[in-house]
Amino acid sequence: MVKKGNQPISINGFNVIAVFLVLLILPFSTAFISNGLFFSRDYDDYEPLLDNISPPSLSNPQINEVSNLVGASWYNNGNTNYTGWYEGVGYNNEDDVECISIRNGICQGWSGGASSFNQNWLGNNYPKYIDEKNRAFWTMPKTHGVWGSSTVGAKYTPNNISQADYPGSSGTGNFDLIFPNMLKSIDQTKNIDSLKFTFIDYNTIHNCNSHVWYNGSFDGKIQFRYFDNVSSTYKYSNTYEKRFDWDNKYQWTRSAGAGMPFNTDCFHGIDFQYNFDYLEAYEIMNFNPNGIQDVETIISIDNICKNDLTNTCRLNGFVELGFNGVDDFIISVETMTLETAVIDTSVRLGTIFLSIGVFLIAVASTTYWNPLKTIFGRL
């Protein structure tokens, strides 16, 4: 291929450079396709979710109550069962404590009284606050609560736990929320590009300067599922997971309603923003044959670490992140969308070009075709 002697590069040198280039080009090419570098993206143009969804229909709640919910329900609430604790402080009615602990969407009943998905949901028909960015914030009970009544209707209005009864933690495991109908309002021609969840503990205003604020990191996961009528089971997507930084100082300008004044204060709160790459968006887009609109979203926050002098991890239920503690908190969900045709074209065409490129490299590595000789031999 390249003659030794007067040539500036030996055949060995050429080979080493060539294989290095292959190893470099391949990951760059896949990153180029996955990150959608054909099209620029600006993570600034979020649209609110949850706002345009009709109120829930509870006509058939015994089958699967969560599928009827507008907003969110706890799916795992810290993986620590505080049922015994609450029994010890006086909550001795079975119905009161049946949903203190929730594992994979199932209430871990006090004495076998488990029922699914009837705890802690975001279902008000109006938002608690509108902020200066016109985002709607909805009320959501914290990680666990107790019921005031055993009637089905009352189960949708859980009572808050008093500070005196709170065990001091909401659990040391993962905190998962399920949003069954969140993606229903997305246009049929679009697919999610980014999801942003904001949790704020709106009950307590802190001094922006003198309060001790923290930052750290956590594992954030997003998974999707849909109910497959053929197999009568849930189909789960891949889990999309990253490590995120958090800072619980949330300076926020909000109004309590139309015509009400806007006020700016500091709260405990965090943003959990997941930007999907094109490869992930393409997978999500094709996950459910019926479309993304019928897909439920499960988000998970785990392995919460604090960047202070101790640098401790696994704090989870002990960190002031908005959803821990007593009372309720507020949540906002926003999305950025992309045209499905853009994602589809970008990933498919990119992969086809890459496949052809790799195939040509393979053929050029044989004795049957030497592109360098073909190109430079004529010069």
d(CA 130, CA 136): 5
Comparing CB distances to another protein, the nearer of 20 and 39 is 20
Residue 295 interacts with another protein (CB under 8 A)?
no
Instruction: Decide if residue 63 touches another protein (CB under 8 A).
Output: no
State residue 17 phi and psi, 5-degree precision: -65, -40
Residue 133's CB is within 10 A of a number of other CB atoms, namely 12
What is the number of other CB atoms lying within 10 angstroms of the CB of residue 215? 14
Rg (CA), the chain: 26
Q: Report the residue from 81, 185, 275, 365 that binds another protein according to the rule CB under 8 A.
A: 365
Q: Is 293 in the site for another protein (CB under 8 A)?
A: no
Tell me the two tokens of residue 274. 């997941």
Bridging pattern class, strands 249-255 and 129-131: antiparallel
342 near another protein, rule: CB under 8 A: no
Piece in contact with another protein (CB under 8 A), picked from 85-93, 249-257, 275-283, 313-321: 275-283
Is position 275 an interface residue for another protein (rule: CB under 8 A)?
Answer: no
Query: Measured from the CB atom, is 154 or 372 closer to another protein?
Result: 372
Whole-angstrom Cα distance, residue 119 to residue 121? 6
Min dist. Cβ of residue 283 to another protein (A): 5
CA distances from 350 to 99, 192, 361 (A): 48, 20, 16
Q: Closest Cα to residue 28, out of 20, 348, 372, 39? A: 20
Kindly write out the interface string for residues 253-272 of this chain, putting x where it contacts another protein by CB under 8 A and - elsewhere: --------------------
Sites for another protein among residues 181-240 (CB under 8 A): none
CA dist., res. 376 & res. 379, Å (int): 5
Segment lying near another protein (by CB under 8 A), choices 24-32, 87-95, 245-253, 321-329: 24-32
Among 47, 87, 283, 294, the residue binding another protein under the rule CB under 8 A is 283
Phi, psi of 218 (to 5 degrees): -150, 160
Q: How far is the CB of 223 from another protein (least distance, A)?
A: 15
Q: Using CB under 8 A, pick the residue from 15, 115, 139, 307 that binds another protein.
A: 15
One residue of 52, 104, 345, 355 binding another protein per CB under 8 A: 355
Q: Is 19 in the site for another protein (CB under 8 A)?
A: yes
Q: Which is nearer to another protein, 126 or 368 (CB)?
A: 368
Q: Contact with another protein (CB under 8 A): which of 81, 108, 159, 286?
A: 286
Residue from the set 79, 215, 255, 351 that interacts with another protein by CB under 8 A = 351
Interaction of residue 346 with another protein, rule CB under 8 A: no
Query: Do residues 248 and 319 make contact, with C-beta atoms less than 8 angstroms apart?
Result: yes
Query: Which phi-psi region, left, alpha or beta, contains residue 170 (left: φ > 0; alpha: ψ -120 to 50)?
Result: alpha
* Position among 262, 352, 371, 373 found at the interface with another protein (CB under 8 A): 352
C-beta separation of 225 from 374 below 8 A: no
Q: What is the DSSP letter of 251?
A: E
Which distant-in-sequence residues (6+ apart) come within 8 Å of 131 by Cβ? 137, 252, 253, 254, 255, 332
The type of residue at 113 is G
Considering only 28-36, 217-225, 254-262, 325-333, which stretch makes contact with another protein by CB under 8 A?
28-36
Span from 16-24, 185-193, 210-218, 308-316 in contact with another protein (CB under 8 A) = 16-24
CA distance linking residue 5 with residue 274, whole number of Å:
56
Q: Kindly indicate which of the ranges 14-22, 168-176, 203-211, 255-263 contains the residues binding another protein, using the contact rule CB under 8 A.
A: 14-22
H and E: helices and strands count for the chain: 7, 15
In the structure encoding, which two tokens stand for residue 145, read together?
A: 């609560």
Residue selected from 282, 288, 305, 333 as contacting another protein according to rule CB under 8 A = 282
Looking at the Cβ atoms of 12 and 204, the one nearer to another protein is 12
Number of residues that bind another protein (CB under 8 A): 39
Residues facing 47 on adjacent strands:
335
Site residues (vs another protein, CB under 8 A) = 1, 11-12, 14-16, 18-20, 22-23, 26-27, 30-31, 33-34, 277, 279, 282-283, 286, 347-348, 351-352, 354-359, 361-367
